[in-house]
């Protein structure tokens, strides 16, 4: 084991730490809220990407139709 650093406090500096459990509960609730917001943002961004892809595909299909379908695949 290494020797503790000189001059640095070790552990809590309080003589009798009193955890306010309502603060812990509020922290947990805020973490749940943040996780929900991240999940919602991911769903919204996925929907936006899907919509953009649909629009892009629709534009390409219109170009194909406008060209009279004269596209050679091979």
For every residue of 6-66, DSSP letters joined together read TT---S-S-SS----HHHHHHHHHHHHHHHHHHHHHHHHHHHHHHHHHHHHHHHHHHHHHH
For the chain, the domains span: 21-67
pLDDT along the chain (74 residues), means of 10: 51 58 84 95 88 87 77 58
Predicted pLDDT of residue 31:
95
Predicted pLDDT of residue 1:
46
Predicted pLDDT of residue 34:
96
């Amino acid at each position: 084991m290494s020797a503790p650093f000189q001059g640095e406090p070790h552990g809590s500096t309080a003589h009798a730490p009193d955890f306010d459990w309502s603060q812990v509960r509020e922290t947990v609730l805020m973490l749940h809220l943040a996780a929900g917001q991240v999940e919602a943002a991911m769903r919204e961004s996925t929907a936006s990407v899907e919509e953009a892809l649909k629009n892009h595909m629709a534009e390409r299909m219109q170009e194909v139709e406008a060209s009279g379908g004269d596209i050679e695949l091979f």
